Amino acid sequence: MKILLGVTGGIASYKAIDLTSKLVQKGHEVKVIMTKSAEKFVTTLPFQALSRNEVHTDIFDETDPSVIKHIDLADWADLILVAPITANTVAKMTYGIADNMLSATLLASTKPIFIAPAMNSNMLANPAVENNINILRNRGIHIIEPGAGFLACGYIAKGRMSEPLEIIEYIEAYKKGEQIQSHQQKQDLKGKKVMITAGPTIENIDPVRYLTNRSSGKMGYALANAAASRGADVTLISNPLPLERHPAINWVSIESAQDMFEAVQSHMNDMDIIIKAAAVADYTPETVYDQKLKKKEGDLTITFKRTVDILSYIGTHKTNQYVIGFAAETENVEENAIGKLKRKNADVIVSNNVGDTSIGFKSNENAVTMHFKDGDKIEIKKQPKEAIANQILSNVNKKGFK
């Protein structure tokens, strides 16, 4: 497709660079229009380098006398995508203002237009903005709803621009003539109760020292946020972590493996779906000292005992719950994942190679394989964990959990 990408001035403008790259990688031809405000956040150079096309910023920069540039661009495109779009440009579209290159091109276009709003949650909820977006929607403009999460202003709320891969999925569904729904619009988990465990556990040795692991919790939190955005009633069980949480999530704070086990026991019977994404300690110190252990001559020996295998407990005691487990492996990834699927009586095991430092612990990206109880396997290529989370939920939904 020939895609004309409009970029307006907001902190999410940086995501448009990645969006341009991914669109080109998928075989689309991309031309970019940037507003002057967008140039305050990002420069034209990365868009030009990635699209291999001139970037347009000035409506009066008419270098080719044979065409009028904003008319020519509007005619060239198969569709126009504005991502991110600010409240200001939404208002210009609503009232037909054409005071820059982008707004004039939008006004001159007869092609499908897609917009991906990104702004502070209070701005998004302002009646004026809501009214403008509704007017555009009623005119046939495709709205790619923003997601919820940590915003630049510090709020944790709705207003984040959808991830580039989600936007591409949306417009490619349009190309195929499929029903277009963003993950936020789908609400395909509405009425479902979902419990997710995330992050590492902390096993105390004494008041000063503890044992833990390298898990960041990012994958579990991405799943919780995605499920909540899709309408689920989400209970997230994790340590306090410096990660964004959808405002609708019910967060249960824990510390140790035993704490997590007790929280899972307490909540699992009410759940429809259980996603065990936490990296739970397999062993915990047999003795936890009340006072700090002092340094002495010679070696120190600490005796450990096994913790409860939470996924096995869930698999043994589940009734109608659909259970998804994770297998973070460094070798024999598929073999270990399939073995875990059978031993734990899970419905799905999601495996990934944490030995790969580009997608391992603390990375913002991942690449996983879903192993289903019926023998099916779905590979999800490397991409942001937010996109991975939505693909996991979509694949499970397609398979049909009961």
| In the predicted structure, residue 181 carries a pLDDT above the cut 60 | no
338-366 pLDDT tens trace: 999 999 999 999 998 887 777 767 787 88
| In the predicted structure, residue 186 carries a pLDDT above the cut 90 | no
Q: Are strands 233-238 and 250-253 parallel, antiparallel or unpaired?
A: parallel
Q: How far apart are the C-alpha atoms of 144 and 46, rounded to whole Å?
A: 24
| In the predicted structure, residue 402 carries a pLDDT above the cut 60 | no
All domains in the chain, ordered by first residue: 2-184 (3.40.50.1950), 193-399 (3.40.50.10300)
Q: How far apart are the C-alpha atoms of 113 and 136, rounded to whole Å?
A: 10
What are the φ and ψ backbone dihedral angles of 356, each rounded to 5 degrees? -80, 105
Q: How far apart are the C-alpha atoms of 165 and 170, rounded to whole Å?
A: 9
Q: How far apart are the C-alpha atoms of 244 and 218, rounded to whole Å?
A: 9
Spell out the residues 6+ positions from residue 6 whose beta carbon is closer than 8 angstroms to its own: 32, 33, 34, 35, 80, 81, 82, 83, 85, 89, 102, 105, 106
296-330 pLDDT tens trace: 899 999 999 999 999 999 999 999 999 999 998 88
17-66 pLDDT tens trace: 999 999 999 999 999 999 999 999 999 999 999 999 999 999 998 888 88
| pLDDT at site 183 | 53
Active site residues: 153
Which of 43, 37, 46, 11 has its CA nearest to residue 100?
A: 37
The mean pLDDT of the chain is 91
318, burial (CB in 10 Å: exposed 0-12, middle 13-18, buried 19+): middle
| In the predicted structure, residue 243 carries a pLDDT above the cut 90 | no
Q: Where are the beta strands (DSSP E) in 8-154?
A: 29-34, 55-56, 79-85, 113-117, 142-143, 147-150
Q: How far apart are the C-alpha atoms of 207 and 228, rounded to whole Å?
A: 36
